[in-house]
Amino acid sequence: MCLTVFAFQADPDYPLIFASNRDEFYDRPAQPATFWYDHPGLLAGRDLKAGGTWLGITSDHRFAAITNYRDIENIKDNAPSRGDIVTAYLTSGMEAPDYLKKLRGTADQYNGFNLIAGTTTELWYYSNELDEISKVAPGIHTLSNAFLDTPWPKTEKAKGCFRQILKHRRADLDNEVFELLRDREIFPDDRLPSTGLSPQMERLVSSIFITSESYGTRCSTLIKAGSNTGKLNTFTEKTYKKSTDEAEGTVSYKF
């Protein structure tokens, strides 16, 4: 997952509303979100190559999402899958701060990552590139392949559009969020970060929704918690056909 935008305790109707795109190579197999047969209380998509996940929630209303931290020059060839981190937390039964403290002991084994974990009342952020555990403040936040709230062009656009969607509060909020997640604007080179990619690739991945022959946005997810219960109650995922923003399938769960 390479872009997330979320409102945490910043909206009267939604203690948490979390929207994300997962970007990946098209030839890496994945299973759409479902409750896992080996962990029945876990709702998540699944990376069928390594077995982990990029984003999930549990029946006891815990939540986690991970993105890669882009550091091309320091890739570990035999590092464990970062998707295992999300699975391990969501199946551990541990509180997020306790899990993150435990994770710090092995975090340097992984390639760079950013992890958001917690509940609708308390969210935590950890990156092994910073090695600091921090509590997420109420507000609208973004996360891509740098640190939380790093102002890349696509994260700033996502944050601004997301804020407007929540402000105007139309009946088709879900559709508006998914339209935001399908935004394909490519930003000019002089606004792009320098992360070690070639200029052509940096340009390609500058959009909120990515398409190419071999790599792109595979799915979008919207998770909401209702103010009446304060708990996660809606999970919707759209998967896309290769090299296009045409939806291939949609799964939706309500609690």
How far apart (Å, rounded) are the C-alpha atoms in residues 47 and 29? 6
- For 59, 181, 221, the CA distances from 237, given in Å and listed in that order, are 17, 12, 4
CATH class label, 3-254? alpha beta
State pLDDT tens for residues 10-21: 999 899 999 999
Q: What percent of the chain has pLDDT over 90?
A: 91
Q: Closest Cα to residue 2, out of 164, 142, 120?
A: 142
What are the φ/ψ torsions at residue 79 (nearest 5 degrees)? -70, 150
pLDDT over 70 at 1, yes or no: no
State pLDDT tens for residues 118-171: 999 999 999 999 999 999 999 999 999 999 999 999 999 999 999 999 999 877
What is the pTM (predicted TM-score) of this model? 0.96
Would you kindly state where each structural domain of the chain is located, as residue ranges?
3-254
State pLDDT tens for residues 214-255: 999 999 999 999 877 888 889 999 999 999 999 999 999 998
